Structure 1
Amino acid sequence: MGNVVPLIHTATAIAAVVFLILKAKVNPALALVLGAIYLGIVCGLGAERTLELVNQGFGDLLAKVGLLIVLGVLLGTLLSALGALEKLMALLLRILGPRFLPYSFAVLLGTGLQFIFTDVLLVMTAPLARSLGVRIGPGGAARIAVAMAVGLEVGVTLSVPGVGTLALAGLLEVPLGVMLLYGFPLATVTITLTLLLFSALIKRGFWKPERDESPAAPEETAPSAQALTNPAQARGSLCPPPLALSLSPLLLAMAMIATGAFSAVAEWRSPLVGFLSDPVAGLLAGVILACLIARRHLPKGTVGDAFGQGYRLSGQFLVLRGVGGSLAAVMGAVGLGGIVEGTVASSTWAPLLLVWLIAAALHLAIGSVITSAITAAGILAPVAPSLDVQPVLVALAAGAGSLFAIHATSNTFWMLQALLGQTTRGALKTVTMSVSAASVIALGLIQAVSLMS
């Protein structure tokens, strides 16, 4: 089969998925499965082989990252119940003041708070962010909106434990400790530079409050959604734990995961270190510690409520990510990976740019940051060893590319628009333009790291 035919069929399958989701209002998971089946059959794989690949791609992805996602969501739900976020933001506001709050807020969203499921984190922080917007001076609403959009989306694909980052590391076989070692500073610098850029633009009249901000109040569902994700709020806290204790499960998990990367660099290997630095062990330790703290300081039944909420969130999330793996598996089987490999082989001058372009093109077509990152990684997995760059940089370049041009197909776009009181025009500035700028900035930083390594 020529190179053109798989590309045409792939483009048709992606266009069909977009149509089913946007126009026919078909559930995204079902639309992705149908797109994968169509692609396999029209490319000559046959019905039986296509269904086998759909199952295999789903299972392979969840086998690599499923337990990590579940444990991460549970830890995030428990941290929410402990009120860690509200205490941390209050402390930052006191220490840093309103001027630097957007930067610290965005970096927190994009790094440590990625343990919390993205939609839940957005709903939890949006009312707080909107109230802070009026306290940080002119253009405050725009600056805090950019901080939220960039922090949330960059963290998903560039920083451990962002779920897209977990999937990229799993598919490209990058140790999570290494991904954390590279991704944490990359996400932090990318977020900071993007906010500096947009703060300068806002000062020069880029933001028009009369046209970009909506006079309507945030949706009344936000407080109830926040209560739903914070069982302790609904029940009332007995004795709220101090901030350091509330954050200790998160810090423990991150420290254990990071130990693996540092021990590998120091060539310090032992069975005990290997066990303790395993991401599953780190997240499990964090969940256990969070349970112990919650049982001591929160009302009876709060831990059970938090686990129930975590199971509901992780179940929905696992299905969507799994079917993204199904589509990636079929794309690889129809020869798309070979086409990409040939392109890379003939253009070795900028392999990371090509990786970024592939992920960006997939995101423009599919509209989902995480699904496009997973699909790109699935295509690139067989090609990655042939690239003359570190696998972790390939994973990060795919993650950066998948951030480009978030638009109306993204649920996060509309949630940010509604919860932060923006018009669609305003959201195009604070979400689409800002996260696209972060995507390009991240690529530049990754290229710089590649040249130095």
Structure 2
Amino acid sequence: MSLFILLFGILLLFVLIIKKINPMIALIAVAIITGLLLGMPAAKVMKSISDGIGSTLGSMVMVLALGAMMGKLIEDSGSAKKIVFILIKAFGKKNIQWAVLLTGLLVGIPLFYNAGFVVLIPLVFAIASATGLSKLYIGIPMAAALSVTHGFLPPHPGPVALAGIFHADIGKTLIFGLILSVPIAILAGIYFPRIIIKRDQNASASDFNIIPDENLPSGLRSFITALLPVFLIIAGTVGSGINGDFVSKPIFIFLADPTVALLISVIIALMVQKATIAKAMESCAEGVKSIAMIILIIAAGGAFKQILIDSGMGETVKDLTGNLNLSPLLLAWLITAALRVTLGSATVAALTASGMVLPLIGPHASPELMVLSVGAGSLMFSHVNDTGFWMFKEYFNLTLKQTFGTWTIMESIVSVLGLVGVLILNQFI
């Protein structure tokens, strides 16, 4: 009976989202209704919701806020554009897809998906115009790179939220995520568009020459500020993982904390930029404002997750699937992918699934790989109920059929390859 109630809750969530109800409101309402229908006392339902919000945000709110500040500082300072120009100049027209892919990976690490897309899309169109190449031939590598960073790499909201829920080490999650992201981005972003898209669209294109703005920061400063959080987290994780005690080990442990790494990065970004402190603080405030609703959705997702845990639903799912002889990582991917196709939002699907699959973590599924498995499932088969689908469609002026044949397939490739990569990694750790 409890499983039917869960399915009813998911169906209700789907209907509310279809009706354009804000996902935060929908999640909280469904969490309360589901808890009550599962027989939880009203007082316990509200306590579970409070506990879920507190435990979910408590471990990540500063990471999300500092990451948003960092991304906005990089965007407003021109560092993101500078990285684009340097890579395009280095790779040339013949290998322009590789330049766009690497740009998407570098820019996508500090910037959230929507911000990265908006920053890079004018450059994609400029490159297409200057080279005579198809916009999609240039644009899919960018979208694939942003998707893998969004699904697999902290400090994006989804991976950070899941790491907090599964009690996963963010540094290890980042390292494993990087191992997956590069080959997946290459396959989905380089080889996939080469198979389905005609390369040249304008034989009379002008010579390939995109001139950067002279007011942009230096290349060295741009790369350092954009990648510093990643370097600090990885260095801290590797250093703190070395066996034995040594003098600098506490420093590595300190740097491995994503809040510390991002705080240091924000401070350094403030020190090296040309803008006044007042202007920089405005950028920081705008960055946090841009993710305010994302934080609230994550909080509401944490509340729904806690209802599923406190009601025993997670254990019910574990018992029902115990005889299926499936890998917990595969099962987590399947549940998340089903929710993604149903609900549309990758973040909502991942957070909803987390409460159901949390009991599956054990010797055959590490918390870090569970984060990546759920992250991969959350990217599966993006279609008409996903805002990313419509953003891609409208920017590239595609029909629905064309969007399904490009964006949807690309996202599904990333998702399936992510699952395959997670299962392979699980054999070695």
Alignment of 1:427-438 (within 5 A): 427-438=403-414
1:284 corresponding residue in structure 2: 263
1:161 aligns with 2:155: yes
d(CA) in 2 for partners of 1:72 and 1:333? Answer: 31
d(CA) in 2 for partners of 1:99 and 1:359? Answer: 39
Which of residues 387, 399, 402 in structure 2 aligns to 1:423?
Answer: 399
Give the conservation status (yes or no) of the 8 Å contact 2:163–2:371: yes
How far 1:243 sits from its partner (Å)? 1.8
1:384 aligns with 2:361: yes
- Secondary structure, in 3 states, of the residue corresponding to 1:451? coil
1:283-337 per-position Cα deviation (integer Å, ceiling 9, x unaligned): 001100111122xx12564213202211211322211111111111112233331
Q: Partner letter of residue 254 of structure 2?
A: F
2:18 corresponding residue in structure 1: 22
d(CA) in 1 for partners of 2:271 and 2:80? Answer: 18
Alignment of 1:25-64 (within 5 A): 25-64=20-59
1:233 corresponding residue in structure 2: none
Q: Partner letter of residue 101 of structure 2?
A: A
2:141 corresponding residue in structure 1: 147
d(CA) in 2 for partners of 1:88 and 1:208? Answer: 25
Alignment of 1:219-238 (within 5 A): none
Of 284-293 and 254-263, the range deviating more from structure 2: 254-263
How far 1:388 sits from its partner (Å)? 1.4
Which of residues 159, 181, 184 in structure 1 aligns to 2:178?
Answer: 184
Alignment of 1:215-294 (within 5 A): 240-267=216-243, 270-294=249-273
Change in 2 beyond 3 A, CA 1:112/1:87: closer
d(CA) in 2 for partners of 1:264 and 1:344? Answer: 37
1:354 corresponding residue in structure 2: 331
Give the conservation status (yes or no) of the 8 Å contact 1:6–1:335: no
> What TM-score does the superposition give when structure 2 sets the normalisation length?
0.90
Alignment of 1:318-397 (within 5 A): 318-385=295-362, 387-397=363-373
- Secondary structure, in 3 states, of the residue corresponding to 1:395? helix
How far 1:239 sits from its partner (Å)? 5.3
Give the conservation status (yes or no) of the 8 Å contact 1:107–1:192: no
1:224 corresponding residue in structure 2: none
> What TM-score does the superposition give when structure 1 sets the normalisation length?
0.85
d(CA) in 2 for partners of 1:287 and 1:58? Answer: 26
1:78 corresponding residue in structure 2: 73
Q: CA RMSD in A?
A: 2.4
d(CA) in 1 for partners of 2:214 and 2:100? Answer: 28
The gaps in structure 2 that reach 5 residues or longer are: 202-212
How far 1:123 sits from its partner (Å)? 1.6
2:60 corresponding residue in structure 1: 65
Give the conservation status (yes or no) of the 8 Å contact 2:379–2:412: yes
How far 1:196 sits from its partner (Å)? 3.9
- Secondary structure, in 3 states, of the residue corresponding to 1:452? coil
The gaps in structure 1 that reach 5 residues or longer are: 210-236
Of 355-364 and 266-275, the range deviating more from structure 2: 266-275
Give the conservation status (yes or no) of the 8 Å contact 1:253–1:283: yes
